[in-house]
Copies of this chain bind each other. A is one copy, B any other.
Amino acid sequence: MKITCQQTDLENAVDIVSKAVPVRTSMAILECILIDASSGEIKLTANDMEKEIDTILNGSISERGIIALDAKKFSEIVRKLPKGEVTIRTESSLATYITCEEAEYKVVGKSGEDFSYIRVSQKTDPVVISQLTFRNIIKQTIFSVADTESNKLMTGELIEIKENHLKVIALDGHRVSIRNVELKNSFNNVKVIVPKKTLNEVIKIIDGGIDDDLNIYVTDNHVIFEFGQTTVVSRIIEGEFFKIEQMLSTDYETKVKINKKKFFDCIDGATPLITEGDKKPIIVNAVDNSMSLSLSSYIGTMNRTIDIVKEGKDLMIGFNPKFVLDALKVIDDEEITLYMLNAKSPCFIKDDAESYIYIVLPVNFNNPGAN
């Protein structure tokens, strides 16, 4: 094999596929990035058996071939190359020469024929979404996916398309994050649970804007994301996602309009008083047009007050501060609205159009307003 390309293109392509190189694996070949120039294009691939990423590298092929190179070392070498034209040449011994201007590296690769791919069944019509929109809605919900593996269905995020409507849902048993988007076109219905790890990598490497398309294909066992010159194939999480419709009741007794930044700063201000072993709730007390927030732990106490516009009953309710902060961080609105029924029912933070719905379960508190 002998190929030539620009260092910047190569570095970019290596960065993209490196996201699928496994941290630990018993299959040594999977520690490699595959460079496949056996057909008319140069394709880089990596695969951790859960997901596979490939990307087309712009460049020219003067001798067709295929080689697998240790991902970590290859990527470090590529980053240290001068910014110029790079040539990668392999010999039949698998010795590989990487040259750029006055620099020459020699490493020994593995046979590209031994590389292992994820086998995907025939794909059908894609759903087409703006890359920017997709990246945003995943970033705005993925923090709610559970960290533990105790419930498989909670380790992924639901992506649901009905005609021209896209909904994503992430939940972990303490909170639910939902984003709704209207698409430009209508598509066949899709409902798929995608692992958090895959989505985390996809949003890192997807770099297009609002007018750049992302194609999503769903097969029996896999979901495929295609954007630019890159394809990500991932297993899907099998099973029926949680039915959350009955949670989405519109009943409330207390409706509070509040400045998002001030609300955030007050809750965030309580975090110095929380320790790993003493996770005290923040107690929110909405009375007339004022909300007091207090937290009391063995370290000390905090009391803060914000002006609000309240409709309905006064209410005192406790929350895990982190869950509220996580939601507030990803809401762009300056002013937000909370809907609450009572101290034991979930609090809804949502806009009128329901483009976002963040649901946080309350926590019990024994000693409200303790000082």
Contact = CB atoms under 8 A, between A and B. Distances in A.
A81 B300 contact: no
Contact of A300 (B79, B107, B268, B303): B107
B80 A269 contact: yes
Among the interface residues A70, A79, A104, A272, which one has the most CB atoms of the partner chain B within 10 A?
A272
A248 interface: no
A371 interface: yes
A82 B302 contact: no
Contacts of A266: 103
A108 B300 contact: yes
Interface string A81-125: 110000000000000000000111111100000000000000000
B73 A269 contact: no
Nearest to A270: B80
A286 B81 CA distance: 22
A266 B82 CA distance: 9
Nearest to A81: B269
A304 interface: yes
B73 A299 contact: yes
A76 B272 contact: yes
B271 A104 contact: no
Nearest to A295: B105
A265 B102 contact: no
A271 B80 contact: yes
Contacts of A103: 266, 269, 302-304
A221 interface: no
A272 B104 contact: no
Among the interface residues A73, A81, A102, A301, which one has the most CB atoms of the partner chain B within 10 A?
A102
A301 B79 CA distance: 16
Nearest to A268: B80
B105 A300 contact: yes
A294 to B, nearest CB: 9
A313 to B, nearest CB: 23
A302 B78 CA distance: 12
Contacts of A27: none
A77 B272 contact: yes
B102 A272 contact: no
Interface in A296-338: 299-306
Among the interface residues A79, A273, A371, which one has the most CB atoms of the partner chain B within 10 A?
A273
Contacts of A306: 102
Contact of A105 (B70, B82, B301, B305): B301
A300 B271 CA distance: 50
Contacts of A108: 300
Contacts of A73: 272-273, 299-300
8 contacts: A76-B271, A77-B300, A80-B265, A80-B268, A105-B273, A106-B301, A107-B299, A108-B300
Given A73-B300, A104-B304, A105-B302, 12 more contacts: A70-B299, A73-B272, A73-B273, A77-B273, A79-B272, A80-B265, A80-B268, A80-B271, A81-B269, A103-B302, A105-B300, A106-B301
- List the 10 shortest-distance A-B pairs measured between CB atoms, nearest first: A76-B272, A107-B300, A80-B269, A77-B272, A103-B304, A102-B305, A106-B301, A104-B303, A105-B302, A106-B300
